[in-house]
Structure 1
Amino acid sequence: MNKLNQYTLDEIIDIPSLQNIQDKFSKMTNMSAITVDKIGTPITKPSNFTRFCNLIRTSKEGYRRCINCDAQGGLKSTQLKKPVIYTCHAGLTDLSAPIIVNDIHFGSMLCGQVVIKGNGNKKLIDLEKLSNELSLPVDELEATLLHVKSLKYNKITASADFLSLCTNSIAKMGVATITHSELLEETKEKMKFQQLAKDAQIKSIQSQLDPHFLFNTLNTIAGMALMENCNQTADLIYSLSDILRYSIKNSKDMVEIGTELENVKKYLFIQTIRYSDKLNYDIKIPDEIFRYKIPAMTLQPIIENAIMHGLEPKKDPGIIKIHGEVLPDKFIQIKITDNGIGMSNEKLNSINNKLSSTSINGGIGIKLVHDRLIYYLGPESGVKIESVPDIGTTVNVKFPLVY
C-alpha cells in the first residue's frame, strides 16, 4: 500500500484518542509517556513528565538533545520491529516502541524517565556536566532528579511488552482509518458501502498479536501490581484485558445485550478510576432486553465519544446515563445521555447529516456504529443524536427485537 507514504501519523490517528491511550498507559505503568512522529517531533502532550526532564527541555540545547534522542530511540525500535530499552542523553532509562502500519514507520510511543532500581543510576548521572552543557543551574537539576522514580528491571520489561500492545492497537486504528477512506471513494452504492464499512470496523478492532501473548502480558502486569499491593491497578488491567478479549472474540458477531453491557461496565470502571470523582454513570436497562441481540462493540464507542467530547471539556462532575426500553413497534431503544457541554444546532445537524452520507470527516466511530446497525438489523435501525449547548447530548440507538 504505497499510498500510505502520503500520510502522517496525525492524519491517520485521531489525536485525542491517541492522547487518551497514552494517558492510560502512563497511569497504569507509573511512567512518563509521549508520542512522536518519525523524526522525533511530539504530536501529543506529555503524560506525567518528570520535573527533571521538563527542566532539561527548557534549555534550547537540552530540547534539541531530547528530540534527537527520541528520534534515535524510535529508529532503533523500528529497525528491530519491537520495543527497546535504552539510556537517554541525560542518563535516564527510556522505552520506545514503533508505530508501524504495513511496514511503514509513522512514529513511536516513548515512555520511561526512570532509573533501574539497585543500579545506582542517579549517582552515575553527571549533573555538573549537564549543567555546563545545557546552561541549567546544577542545584535545580539535583533537586528535580530526586523526584525521578526507581523501578525494578522486570517491571520495565513488562511495561515494554504492554507498550508494544498499545502501539499495535494504534497501528490498527490507522489501518482502519485509511481503509475506510479508500473504500468509500470506490463506491456510492448503499449495500456495498455497508459491507465495506463493516470490514473497516472489523479491521480496527482485530489485532495481529497472538491473543495468548496479549492476555498473558496484561495478566503478568496485573499480577505484579497485586504483589505490590496495588489492587486498584490490578483491577484496571484485568478490566482492560477483558475488554480487549471481548472486542477480538466478538468482532464479527452479534451478541446478547446483556453481554454487551458487561463489557460497557468494565469500560466505565476504567474511566471512573481515570477521572476520579469527575465521572459517574447510571445504567437502567430492563432484564427483558438482555436476551436480544446487538452487533458487538455498539455501545462502547458512543460512551467513549460522550466522555471525550461531552464531559472531558467541562470543569464540573459529569454523568453518563444508559437507559433502555422496548418500544410499542417491537423495536428497542437505548439512550446514552451525558450532561456535558453539548453542541450547537449547526454542528448537530452536520453530524446527523454525515450519519446518512458517505463522508468520513469526523465522527467515524459513531458512523461505523450507525452503518453496522443498518447492515445487520435493517434500514430502520441506526443512530440519531440530540444535543443542547451547555445542557448535554443524547445518542438514540434504535434496532428491532432479534434473538
Structure 2
Amino acid sequence: MDWLKTILNKFEGLRIRTKILMFYFILVLLSVGISISLYINMTNRYIENTIYELSISKINTNNKSIELLIEDINNFSKELISDIAIQRNLEIDNKSSASHHEIEKILAASIIFDEKISSVYVFDNEGNSYSSEKQTYKDIVLEDIKKISWYQEALEKKGGYILNLNGGGLINEDRTNYFTFIRVINNNKNHQPIGLMMINIKESTVLNVLNLGENEQVLIKIENDAYSTMEDEQSIAYIHDKDYMNRLNHEQIFYEEITIARTTYSMTGFFNKKYGWKILKMVPNEGRSSMVNSFNGVIISIIFINGVLIIYGSFFIARYITNPIVKLTSLMHDVEEGKFESINVSEHHDEIGSLKAGYNYMIVTIKALIDKVIKEQQTIKKAELRVVMEQIKPHFMYNTLDSISSLIMLNRTDEAYNSLVALSKFYRSSLSDGKLVITISKELDIIKNYLFIQNIRYNHLFEVEIDVDENIMDFKIPKLILQPLIENSLYHGIRPMGMEGLIKIIGKQEGDSITLIVEDNGCGMNNAQLEHIRQMVVYIKNQQSEQGEDMKKISVGIPATIRRIHHMFGAESRFIIDSTNRGTIITIILPLEVQND
C-alpha cells in the first residue's frame, strides 16, 4: 500500500483550491458513474419489460386474428354444407350434369366475393368432385384423399373440422403454402356422411390477417405439419435446433431473447389448446435500439447539464472560499523572511475573519516572545561569556603579572615587554567591542596571545602548531569557544605530564561544514572522565538544564562552549571528544549555512 500512501501524501501537499476542485471532480465522476449505471439498469429493465409485454400482447393478437380467420372459414363452411341444394344433390346416387353444375355454381358464387378463400372442393361418397377455385391446381380425386393420413381423422370428427398444411401434400404445385380446412359433410336429416369439403386459404391471406411487420418472422405448427413464412434458413435451423416447439408442450406462452449472427431477436411462443396449433414468432429488436438511443439522449443531456452546473459551482465555491485564504497565505510568507507584521485583508465575519484576527494576535504575541527570547539568549550568552572571562581573568591576570615581574627581576626585559604587549592584545581582542560573535581569524589572534603568555610563564613547556585554511578565516563563530579547550589541554593535559608537549589547532572546510580541531599529546583522560563529558554533550543538546553532580565537577568552560555552539548552529553542529592515556582530540563541526551575528 506504499503507492496509496504516496498518493495521499501528494494530495495533502496540494493547495486547498486544488483539493476542492479535485473533490468535486471525483464527486462528479462518481455521481455520473452511479447515475449512468442506475439508468442503464433501469432502462434495460424497462425496455425488457416493455418488449416482453409488447411481444406477448402481439402474439396474443396474432392468435386471436387466426382464431377469427378460422371461425370465419368455419361459418363459411357451415353455410355451404347447410345449403339445401348442396344437401339435395349430394344425396342423389346417380347425379346428372345439372346437379353437378348446380353445386359448382353455388361454390363459385360463395367464394367470388370472399377474398380469404382461395378454393373450395366438395367430394361425394361416390367419388365425384365439385370445385371452385381462384387458382388452378392439379386434379384432386377422392381416391387420393383416402390415402392421406388425415382422411380417417376427418371421418372420426363426424362433422368437426381439421386443419393442415397444403391438404397434406395434395396441393402446392406453385410452391405457395396454403392452410387447408377439412370437414365431413353430414346429412341434415340423419346426420350420415354424404361428402367431404376442403377449403384452402392462401399464405398471403394468413400474413395479412397476422399484420406482420417487414422483418417479423412466424412459424406455425399444425399437428404434424409445419407452416413457415421465414425465409432465413439460418433462423429456421436455429429454431429447430433449439426445439422451441417442444417447449410449447409444457408452456402455453413464453418469451426469450436470442442472438443469431450478432442480431438480437425477440422469440415468442404460443400454444392454442382450442385448435391445437403452435405459433413461434421471431422479431429483430430494432425498436429496442431506437428506444435505448432515445432514452440515452435524454439522460446524457441531463447528466451533462448537471455535470456542467456542478463543475461551475465547484469553481465558484473554490474561488469564494480560497481567495481570502490565498491572500492570507501570500501575506503570511513575510514570516519566512523574518518579518512579523500584522496582515490586513477584507474583513469577513466568518472563519476567514476569525483566522485573520487569530493570526494577527499570534504575530503580535510571537514577536513579543521572540524579542523576549532574543534578549534572554543575549543575556545568557553574555553571562556565559562573562563566566568564561571571569574564569580567565583572576588567576590568569595574577599569574601573568607575576611572571612579568619575575622576568623583570631576572633582567629579561624584552620577554617581559613582549608578555605585557601580548596581555594587552589578549584583553583587547577578547573584548571585541562587546561582540558575542567573531571571525575565526580574530579567535586565532586571541589564542596566539594567550599561548604566547602561557609559554613564557611555563618556560616554553609546549609547542604550538596552527594549521587553519585561509578560506575559512572569515567564518563567524561564538567568541572564545576555542580558548577554553586550549586551556584544558594546557592545564589538564600537558602540565600534569611534566614534560614538553604539543598543542595543535587545525581548521578546514569539508563539504558543507567547517571542522575545528584542538589536539594535544598530554596525559589524556580516563574512561570515566571521557564518559562524563560525552554525557554532558547529550544533556546540553537535549536542552536539559539540570545536571548531575558529576557534570558539575567538569570545567565551566567546556559546557559553556558546547551550549554556545548548540545555540548558534543548532542540531547540525557536533562536539566530538576522543582521548586515550596519551593525548586528547576535540573536534567541532559547524554547518556553513548558519552565519548569525
TM-score normalised per structure 1: 0.45
Structure label with greater radius of gyration: 2
TM-score by length of 2: 0.31
